[in-house]
A and B are shown apart, each in its own frame.
Chain A
Amino acid sequence: MKSLKILIAPFVVPALLMLAACAPAPAPTAAPVAQPTAAPAAAEPTAAPKPEKLTVLCTPQEDWCQAMTKAFEEQTGIKTSYVRLSSGESLAKLRATKDNPEFSVWWGGPADGFVAAAAEDLLEPYVSPNAADIPAAQKDPNGIWTGVYVGALGFCSNKDVLAQLGVEKPNSWDDLLDPKLKGQVAIAHPASSGTAYTAVWTQVTRLGGIDQAFEYLKQLHQNVLQYTKSGSAPGQMAGRGEVAVAVIFSHDCVKFADEGMTALEVSFPEEGTGYEIGGVALIKNAPEPEAAKMWIDWVLTAQAQEIGPTVKSYQLPTNPNAKVSERSVKLSEVKLVDYNFDEAGKNRKAITQRFEDEITVAPQ
């Protein structure tokens, strides 16, 4: 009893004293009951006032996010900022801020992420007039998401390290299981990274079931050094020679090679590889819906889709009128698996949780 008193006395008694003194005590912490600044321009439908700012949730590489937001700002005068988060993080963030979103539009990252977000009612359908240009296979018919780029998964190898290990450039998913590659493979964590989730779902498609995919992943785990948070990070590890092979999107590998990591080379699995359609979507209850729609309209134009290569992001544009960089992957030369974005998105949560529980902590 005494100790209890000691513990609570300094917190309770002063308050009582304040009351006893009956000072019109302005409680310091409670003071500025700031009214949630009632979203001024956004909520008003009248006469469409010009939007002033836009916050983009951006999933691709940081420099591409920067180049895009800068270009958009220059063209529209809307002050545009972004936060770069990996796919899984973006999803978690949208879930966390569901009632009061911080972002208005989500740009980039595999479409499965968008499907998963839509399943949780985090997105607002919007069919952009410019979406008519985009092939039907690269957009959601209801306008939940629209494709902005396409990329194929590949192996990003460091040829020096491979040569030293006496291993050939991998040409098959099973090549990654070579015991000589123990601790020499890097891939991201599918809970946080859309790249890694694409890789996991590729196994599901290729092997015909989730259980079979986990059987493969369990074997692959023997060779994995680290599951990174961001999808492209394994490519940097390979570039620095920390690992021999990284499983990443091939365009990121080309980017790193162009940026000076000359030992890197891309190869594709002959059984077929997964691919992504990077999406764009309007966020539900977006604070800046008008600006967000302008952003969506804009990123679907050929002109906006040609910005990527200027910052060495060689994803394929979805707008057929956009110029294709010669550094981009030629999809006709790569065997792709039959990737079902809807199924992938709907199973995302279950699979990432299972991955966390069964794979990451398995002994090596």
Chain B
Amino acid sequence: MYLRAAPLIQRGCAPSLYLSTLSPMRLSRPLAPTIGWRRVWREYRALARDPLYLIALVAAALFVLAAILYPLIATLGQAASSEGARVLGDVLRRPVYHRIILNTLVMGLLVAGVGTGVGFLLAFVQVRVAAPAWLKRFIHLTALVPVVSPPFAVAVATIVLFGRSGLITYGVFGARTDIYGLPGLTIVMTLSFFTVAYLSLSGLLRGLDPAMDEAATNLGASRWHQFRTVTLPMLLPGLGSSFLLLFVEAVADLGNPLVLGGNFTVLATRLYLAIVGEYDLTSGSVLSVVLLIPSVLLYFLQWRLATRASVVTITGKPTGRVLLITDKRAVIPLVGAATAIALFIVLIYGTLLVGAFVMSLGVNNTFTLKNFEFVLLGYGAEAMIDTSFMSAIATPLAGVLGMVIAFLVVRGRFLGRSALDLGTMLGIAVPGTIFGIGYLLAFNNPTTLGGVTLIPKLTGGAAVLGGALAIVMVYVIRSTPAGLRAGVAALQQIDPAIEEASVSLGADQALTFRKVTLPLIRPAFFSGLIYAFARSMTTVSAILFLTTPETRIMTQQILNETEAGRFGNAFAYVVVLIAIVLVVIGLLSLLIGLSTGAEREAVQTP
């Protein structure tokens, strides 16, 4: 392969591109040209006959390499340095770290367990239990709220409501409860993250073939027996995948432990303090790796499980109607519990809303607009504009990239497309803080090779565009995976014969993609866009180390206000942020006019 490339370089053909694409792969030994490689070469040559394919492939490969793999490799490299080895030795040896790791695991497992439970309960009530339609819709909509709010907003409201002087715990019951630490974290993280479990499990439940249940009932099984021996086993992979996904989210979360952790230290907070308190990138990298390995392994394990789970759902089209559970003994506790959870969410977000309009909720309940004045007129306005603007740039990029990679992965016939898929998914499988560190390590100085600047300095205030580029890149890598999955799912439903027909009628690939494929995957594309915008606006951990004086990010300002104890300002920020996200979702839906992914999601509720 090198042999082939060498004469090309001598001919002066864009060596920078060649080197940039290859360099991080140096880890692998030089490969001798073998038969296998010749085949790969032929496959790609065939592919490249279509320039559109080639451009798509190059763009996708560059994206994965530069924006995702390079920062991760830089982090691993720093952790593998001799200084890193010393810190790693510390981490492995000292009981202090064992405790932190244990804390992280216990918290992850608890949140994953409770969150999956809550998600399942809501999904089950939604799909399988007889309840008034308006109630189900209410439960469904409240379950979606956490998606559009920054993840630690719940923690702040929880302190006000259930803290030691909480409006409810102390105000109503006179109890000085202690929510700092593990118990509080479990509650707020469950509420912040359960939506993922809820959405995927309700999808699975809907896809289950009711014929199985009917068969079980006909054979004389009771509803409970049938649930236990028929429904549940079929859902196990789905439950498992939700569990793992929530585990990964929980151990990666930074905002909640910072606000509500008390002295319950977890890896994410320790890592954060190493960077903001000491700017100790080496310790940061080592802790990153400790956090990274289980997260990534578990993430891909859950992916496998989820894929298995979806196989189950595709096997049979529903042949009958689902028999909703009507037995009062089951309905009342199930619907009651689900309603209670929904009301709890309403209470939390209601508190945020009220808190934004008073001086200091619970201490001084005088009505004021001061908080909004601070957010909308002062420096908050800058943050609002910066964040929305960068999110607005990242959104279409992530949307298009997601679709392009999905197209390559599903329709492409070349060796290694799953690597492209995997590489893109790393963007979400890797905890956000680690990308923060990775970007600092990789892009704080210009990346040069042989005196040629490949990538200019991207992070820090003195960087290109005041560091905004790095933040947009992080937004894109965090949001592309969702678009990719939506795109893959959509494309797999479309028979390639439709596209082939278009080509044989004389259209080229570009036209076919635009006129045939794109309209078919449009809902997936727009749900990807909506997700990307919401995700970008609410991202915290990945951008905390990347903000500069030129780029103010709302979530970071909220965290600052929260940390400094100015809850009123924090609440006002959260309210404004949620409003922006909702307005943009509304506008997107309007623009598209017809059915967007999000609407479909909402309409699906029975």
Contacts and interface: CB of A to CB of B under 8 A. Distances in A.
The finding on whether chains A and B are genuine partners in a shared complex, rather than unrelated, reads: yes
A27 interface: yes
B178 to A, nearest CB: 7
A3 to B, nearest CB: 9
Interface string A247-287: 00000000000011111000000000000000000000001
Contacts of B60: 10
B277 A32 contact: no
Contacts of A100: 457, 460, 462
Interface stretch (B8-16, B141-149, B209-217): B8-16
Interface string A178-216: 000001000001011000000000000000000000000
A137 interface: no
B461 A13 contact: no
Nearest to A70: B378
Contacts of A18: 14, 17-18, 54, 58
Interface stretch (B105-113, B236-244, B410-418, B488-496): B410-418
B471 to A, nearest CB: 14
B104 interface: no
B332 interface: no
Given A5-B36, A225-B180, A260-B359, A29 B549 contact: no
Contact of A33 (B28, B359, B453): B453
A347 interface: no
Interface stretch (B196-204, B293-301, B360-368): B360-368
Contacts, number: 261
Given A10-B414, A19-B5, A226 B263 contact: yes
Residue of B13, B41, B176, B263 most packed against chain A (CB within 10 A): B263
B462 A102 contact: yes
B13 A14 contact: no
A12 B420 CA distance: 12
Interface residues of A, number: 88
A88 interface: yes
Contacts of A225: 180, 262-263
Interface stretch (A126-134, A303-311, A321-329, A356-364): A356-364
A24 to B, nearest CB: 7
A108 interface: no
B62 A229 contact: no
A32 B16 CA distance: 13
Contacts of A17: 44-45, 48, 54
Interface string A6-44: 111111111111111111110111101110100000000
Interface in B99-122: 99-100
Given A15-B22, A233-B563, A361 B265 contact: yes
Given A6-B416, A12-B21, A66-B379, A29 B66 contact: yes
Contact of B59 (A28, A55, A66): A28
A25 B17 contact: yes
- Most chain-A Cβ atoms within 10 A of its Cβ — which of B37, B99, B262, B279? B279
B275 interface: yes
A150 interface: no
A101 B8 contact: no
Interface stretch (B157-165, B336-344, B516-524): B157-165
Most A CB contacts (10 A, CB to CB) among B62, B159, B418 go to: B62
Interface stretch (A168-176, A234-242, A335-343): A234-242
A219 interface: no
Contacts of A191: 273, 277-278
Interface in B47-69: 48, 54, 57-62, 64-66
Interface stretch (A91-99, A141-149, A290-298): A91-99
A25 B16 CA distance: 9
A347 to B, nearest CB: 15
A10 B462 contact: no
Contacts of A229: 258, 273, 276, 563
Given A55-B461, A360-B265, A28 B57 contact: no
B277 A260 contact: no
Given A11-B65, A97-B461, A352-B277, A5 B40 contact: yes
Nearest to B276: A89
A62 B379 CA distance: 10
B263 A260 contact: no
Given A8-B419, A15-B22, A28-B59, A192 B276 contact: yes
B566 A22 contact: no
A357 B37 CA distance: 52
Contacts of B17: 15, 18-19, 25, 27, 30
Interface in B179-193: 180
Nearest 3 CB-CB pairings of A with B: A236-B565, A102-B461, A241-B165
Interface of B: 1, 4-5, 8-9, 11, 13-14, 16-18, 20-22, 25, 28, 31, 36-37, 40-41, 44-45, 48, 54, 57-62, 64-66, 96, 99-100, 159-160, 163-165, 170, 176, 178, 180, 258, 261-263, 265, 273, 275-279, 359-360, 362-364, 366, 378-379, 414-420, 440, 444, 453-457, 460-462, 464, 548-549, 560-561, 563-567
Interface of A: 1-2, 4-25, 27-30, 32-34, 36, 55, 61-62, 66, 81-84, 88-89, 92-93, 95-97, 100-103, 161, 164, 183, 189, 191-192, 224-230, 232-233, 235-237, 239-243, 259-263, 287, 349, 352-353, 356-357, 360-361, 364
